[in-house]
Chains A and B, each alone.
Chain A
């Protein structure tokens, strides 16, 4: 068996996950400016996900290449989100320039 390191303190990880969850709900309901709220929530979510991945899924103690395999989908997905964003932007612009003429906008395509 390849387990040659002390077991992490799982209850401490649980405590941090619970605390970060409470923080997330607090940030969501505080009524702070939207951009700040969104970046705060994303940061908290990433922190929670990292705790689960590194300690519960044991990535902190695995070979580095396995960590690279695990990190690849999030990176690709961030690229994907930016890649589809122009479509989202275009749809938003369509709605602004043709607000009450959905039939006309559809016919124009």
Chain B
């Protein structure tokens, strides 16, 4: 245990390091937020499972939804997770230019994903899919809630890029924390793609 943490264990004094994530309290905070957010998505997915299994007449998703485009979207998000870890690696090695470049690549990937999602939604709505049916309602709520997270993530990425000059090899916890949020968004999409589109 570091001197700071040992000193912090005097009675009535808060520890100066987060017990699980000594580098940063923010990192523990983000993990706890993600655990709660996972419950939100999971609640929606569990409800979707219950509704779908309770209805033998539920449409086969691949007859209504476009698997091809969504597969490309999945691949784009996976690539954006890779560019995110590259951005973190760059800032940790003090390479400021590459750090900003990879953050912007990640944001670009997220924006392309959202563009594809908007195209898909427009196409489906034009062909009559709406929240009037349970299939439509669950589809739009699940993908819409996820899309909201991607949108927030893109804004978050751009804000960190704009604040880029304050991060360097010694001080980059905020970039790691941003990465956790972005990978979570990718992870949730992996599950939505499987349960809503493929199964």
Listed in ascending order, the chain A residues whose CB lies under 8 Å from chain B are 1-3, 7, 10-11, 13-14, 17-18, 21, 24-25, 27-29, 37-38, 41-42, 44-45, 48-49, 52-53, 56-58, 62-63, 65-66, 69-70, 72-74, 76-77, 80-81, 84-85, 87-92, 95-96
Contact = CB atoms under 8 A, between A and B. Distances in A.
Contacts of A91: 51, 54-55
Q: Is the interface of A mostly helix, strand, loop or mixed?
A: helix
B19 to A, nearest CB: 8
B50 A88 contact: yes
A79 to B, nearest CB: 9
Q: Is the interface of B mostly helix, strand, loop or mixed?
A: helix
Contacts of A92: 53-56
A24 B194 contact: yes
B159 to A, nearest CB: 20
Interface string B169-199: 0100000100110011011001101110011
Contacts of B97: none
A95 B47 CA distance: 18
